[in-house]
Amino acid sequence: MAVKSIISRPVYGTLSPQPGSDHLLIADAEGAAAILDLAKSAPADFFAEAEIVFIPRDTGEKYIAALKALQPARFYEGPSIAAALPRLRQRLSTAHMGLRLYLTGTEGLIGQAMQAALEAGIDHKSIQTEQRGSLARRVQCVHCKGITEDVTTQPARCSHCGLMLLVRDHYSRRIAAFQGVCINAEDPSQVPPMEEMFK
């Protein structure tokens, strides 16, 4: 579990079945296990009209059969978060009141699906979230505004402008990213070592 540090840093919970019939569950990688855990306490007809959106990433085939065995009304397997987002935005923009949203897996997945939901006018407090698997961060470089995905080190190099960034805990739901700020601006000749921090 991620540790709560500062107030803008998201806090995640544990997925639990919500009342209603229209459930949209979105997961990447180890998030699949959170859906399987939720299923254990879900009513018998929970998945009858549910949709599962799953991006396996490095879990490959590990969870596919188990997720399909829940017999959701719709099952979508995507090759990447980016590839799944247009579909998700369309789904959310046409959603009815009463849609229940469950997001689980990496913070990058939760954040980007949340961002799409906020743009569709869904209140973030109504969304169930559970962090599972990698603690890798999505980081916006405050200087060039480029976003670097799956950051595991502190500091980290911006994949766009190349600056060495201190990855802060300060988080923007609107951008779905942590803030990265140049770590050696006071003395660019100092290059601190990169350590694995967000595994």
Partner 1 sequence: MGIVFRDETFRDDFTFKNSPEHIRRFPFPFHEDSYMYAVNIEPHVPGPKGSVLENLIDVDEHYVSEMRDRALVLAEDPLRCQSLPHMTLAGWDLLELLMTEQAKGYPEHFSLTRDGDKWHWINRPLGIDHHFVFGDLTTLPYGPMEYITRQSQGDFCILDQRDGNLWMDAGIVTTQADWSLDFDIGMNFFEWHAPVPLAHEKGIFTRALKFLTNIQQGKPARRLNWTMTINPRLDTSPENYHKWGADRATVTPENVGQKVHLRVELQSFWRLPRSNAMVFPIRCYLIKMDELVTSRKWARRLHRVIRDLPEELATYKGLTLYRPTLVEWLARYDDGAETSPGFGPD
Q: What residues numbered 5-34 form the site for partner 1, per CB under 8 A?
A: 6-9
To partner 1, the closest distance from the beta carbon of 172 in angstroms equals 5
Binding flag, residue 145, partner 1 (CB under 8 A): yes
Interface residue with partner 1, options 187, 195, 196, 199 (CB under 8 A): 187
| In the complex, minimum distance from the CB of residue 58 to partner 1, in angstroms, rounded to a whole number | 30
Binding mask 118-137 for partner 1 (x = CB under 8 A): --------------------
Is residue 157 close enough to count as binding partner 1 by CB under 8 A? Answer: no
Instruction: Tell me if 196 contacts partner 1 by CB under 8 A.
Output: no
Contact between 143 and partner 1 by CB under 8 A: the answer reads: yes
- Of 194, 161, 178, 183, which Cα lies nearest the Cα of 8? 178
Q: Is the dihedral of CA 72, 74, 79, 82 positive or negative?
A: negative
Kindly report the backbone phi and psi dihedral angles of residue 66, in degrees, each rounded to the nearest multiple of 5, phi listed first. -65, -40
Does 74 interact with partner 1 (rule: CB under 8 A)? Answer: no
User: Tell me, what DSSP letter sits at residue 189?
Assistant: T
Selected from 45, 61, 186, 196, the binder of partner 1 by CB under 8 A is: 186
Please tell me whether residue 168 adopts helix, strand or coil conformation. strand
Residue 155 to residue 91: CA distance in whole angstroms: 37
Residue 172 interacting with partner 1 (CB under 8 A): yes
- The residue among 40 and 174 lying less far from partner 1, judged by its C-beta, is 174
In what order do the strands lie in the sheet containing 128-131?
A: 74-77, 51-55, 23-28, 100-105, 128-131
Q: Which two tokens stand for residue 134?
A: 């990698």
What's the min distance (Å) between Cβ of 146 and partner 1?
Answer: 13
* Rounded Cα gap, residues 27 and 108, in angstroms: 11
Task: Give the C-alpha separation, 27 to 9, whole Å.
Answer: 20
Question: Which residues of the shown chain bind partner 1 in the complex (CB under 8 A)?
Answer: 6-9, 140, 142-143, 145, 163, 168-170, 172-175, 179, 181-182, 185-188
